[in-house]
Amino acid sequence: MNPWPSPRVLYFSRYQLNMKNLCLSLSLLLGMTLQAQIYQGFTSLGSTITLDITLNTNTDSVDIEISGPASGYYSVGFGGTGMNGTYIMLVNSNGTVGERKLGQWNGGSALTSSIAYSAITSSGLRTAYIERARIGASTNHYTFPASGGSIALIWAKGGTSFGNHGSINRGFGSINLINQCNIATTTLITQSICPGDSVQIFGDWVSQPGTYSDTLVTAIGCDSVLEQSVQFNAPIVNTLPSVSICQGDSIQIFGTWVTTATTLYDSLSTPAGCDSVVAQEILVNFTVSNTIPAAGLCAGDSVFYLDTWHNDTGSVVYNGVTAFGCDSIVTGRVNYLPTVDTGSIYLSLTFQSTMYVGTDLGATYYWFNCNTGAFVDTTMGADTLSPGNEFLQAPDTGYYAAIIVKPGFCSDTSGCKFYYVDVPEYETGISLRPIPATTSLQILLNQLSSNIDYEIFDLSGKIIACGTFQRGQSTFDISSYASGMYLLRLQDGRTLKFIKE
């Protein structure tokens, strides 16, 4: 026998099992209201095996009664039409009940027990009373459908030991679990009350409209629901057109002087004894008196602000009337905007050209040629007439500047700066030696027709030295220079580079 015998199921008839479900359902209903569903089905398998199943969704449990010959074993498989992988309940000839997962043409393997059972023998029949959870204890245990319906079955019977049963002692079948609880809800006559009153429904006093229910239990454990609706006798509410006043004014409503926004009511009585209400809403249109953000002005310009044009700075007061006829006073101010920093252009030196970079990330730079006054496109492929271009690499040597535009600032134009591009490093008559240099640098100017000014830059654009070259040869002391690359730029724009070790 199973080591967990349960007195609740020992020697129960089908009627006793139903009564057990009834008692269990009643005990659960004491703690909570549930919509119990009871599914039942009965079938015969072959000529000597019967199967009776009761599925209770309230307890999520299944009660199974299987009867068969007491002379040997018999078994029923659930949810399959063949042996391989099918879950079965096996009633052995000694009265024990087990669970197995069948193999392909063999008895498969025993499963961990998930059932409580008892078995009795009478008149050559052995009847097993089995109880287990609806949901299988593992993936190998069968899970019974929560909504009932048809379940495919296989069955077999044999001798005193579980083994080969022969072709005439096996077969297929099915069982249909039918809902026993399709009981219509009983709806009682609607109760009507006045707002503020109450009525007793199912033993409780109710003061709000709604549908209330009480759940009883049928003889087989199904819910039987009573519904009682409660509604208000709608009060008669006459809403008068709203009245508006300006802030600081007053008006008399139902004999009372009112100065604030509110809704007043006057109560009468309907023929049903409920209130009949007259409602009057009073709206207060506020006087507008506030300060708005200041407007910005650039010198020489004008700005439209508080319904007029202004070309100077100072406080501005607007006196008007709102759309509701109340006073409207708005105060503001016109201030000069700061001017952009026209020095926010950085000269970046490269090996053979210069590049102008706008350093103010909040500004937009529009580059143009100082010689022609025309806007230019950079060789980077970005049209400088488009916002966000902070770089200029001009198409040729010359003077260039930028119009600088920045939100919250007055626009301005930078000074024109000289831009060089594509100057050969070693031109005829000019040479540097040694390259790289360590302590001194010789500059040969054999074909120089006149003196020429020069500047020496590091790669960051910082001027390291400047002066004037004479014809012939000049020598620079570069022993104090840091190691790196330097640029020598002549007055005519030519640029040469050298390396200090």
| Structure tokens, 390 | 């902070």
Same domain membership, residue 168 and residue 21: yes
9 within some domain: no
Q: Per-residue pLDDT for the chain (501 aa), expressed as one digit of tens each?
A: 333 333 333 333 333 334 333 333 333 333 334 456 899 999 999 999 999 999 999 899 999 999 999 999 999 999 999 989 999 999 999 999 999 999 988 889 999 999 999 999 999 999 999 999 999 999 999 999 999 999 999 999 988 777 667 778 899 999 999 998 877 788 999 988 888 889 999 999 999 999 999 988 777 778 788 899 999 887 777 888 899 999 888 999 888 999 999 999 888 777 777 878 888 999 998 888 889 999 999 988 999 999 899 999 999 998 888 888 888 889 999 999 999 988 887 766 554 555 677 888 888 888 888 878 888 765 444 444 444 556 776 666 677 888 888 999 999 988 887 665 544 444 445 677 787 788 998 887 766 667 788 888 887 778 888 888 776 667 888 899 988 888 888 787 777 778 888
Q: Does some domain include residue 248?
A: yes
Quick one: 461 and 374 in the same domain?
no
- Give residue for tokens 């399709």: 182
HSE on the CB side for 124, CA within 13 Å?
A: 2
Domains: count for the chain: 6
**485 and 412 in a common domain:** no
pTM flag (> 0.75): no
Note whether 253 and 173 are same-domain residues: no
What CATH number did the domain enclosing 482 receive?
A: 2.60.40.3080
CATH code of residue 22: 2.60.40.1210
How many Å separate Cα 473 from the centre of its chain? 76
Q: Does one domain contain both 211 and 281? A: no
User: Which residue, 131, 116, 134, is CA-closest to 58?
Assistant: 134
Q: For residues 295 and 369, state if they share a domain.
A: no
| Cα→Cα distances 263→254, 260, 278, 282, 351, Å | 11, 10, 10, 6, 82
Please return the burial class of 134, using the count of CB atoms within 10 Å of its CB with bins 0-12, 13-18 and 19+: middle
DSSP, res 306: T
> Do 308 and 281 share a domain, yes or no?
no
Question: Residue 382 has what pLDDT?
Answer: 45
Residues 387, 309 share a domain: no
Q: Which of 239, 236, 325 is nearest to 282 (CA)?
A: 239
* Residues whose CB falls within 8 Å of the CB of residue 97, separated by 6 or more in sequence, listed in order: 2, 89, 90, 91, 115, 117, 119, 128, 130
Could you give the angle at the alpha carbon of 163 between the alpha carbons of 161 and 166, nearest 5°? 120
Q: Which residues contact 351 (CB under 8 A, 6 or more apart)?
A: 425, 485, 487, 497
Query: Which residues, in sequence order, are CB contacts of 139 under 8 Å at separation 6+?
Result: none
Give phi and psi for 279, each to the nearest 5.
Answer: -115, 140
Same domain, 372 and 328: no
- CA 239 to CA 282: how far, in whole Å? 12
| Residue 266, in any domain of the structure | yes
Instruction: Please report whether residue 425 resides in a domain.
Output: no
Q: Going edge to edge, which strands form the sheet with 440-445? A: 430-433, 440-445, 472-477
Rounded Cα gap, residues 128 and 88, in angstroms: 14
Determine the Cα–Cα distance for residues 224 and 38; give it in Å rounded to an integer.
13
* 6 lies in some domain: no
Note the pLDDT of residue 447: 62
User: What's the confidence (pLDDT) of residue 152?
Assistant: 96
pLDDT for the residue 63: 97
Separation CA 353–CA 418 (nearest Å): 11
Residue 56 located in a structural domain? yes
Residue 456 inside a domain? The answer is yes
Does residue 171 share a domain with residue 39? yes
> Residue 350: which residues within 8 A CB-CB, separation 6 or more?
none
> 272 lies in a domain?
yes
Query: Same structural domain for residues 63 and 100?
Result: yes
> Which residues touch 475 (CB under 8 Å, ≥6 apart)?
440, 441, 442, 443
* Cβ–Cβ < 8 Å for 421, 489: no
Residues facing residue 316 across a β-bridge: 332
79 and 123 co-located in one domain = yes
In angstroms, the CA 422 to CA 416 distance is 20
Structural domain containing residue 262: 236-285
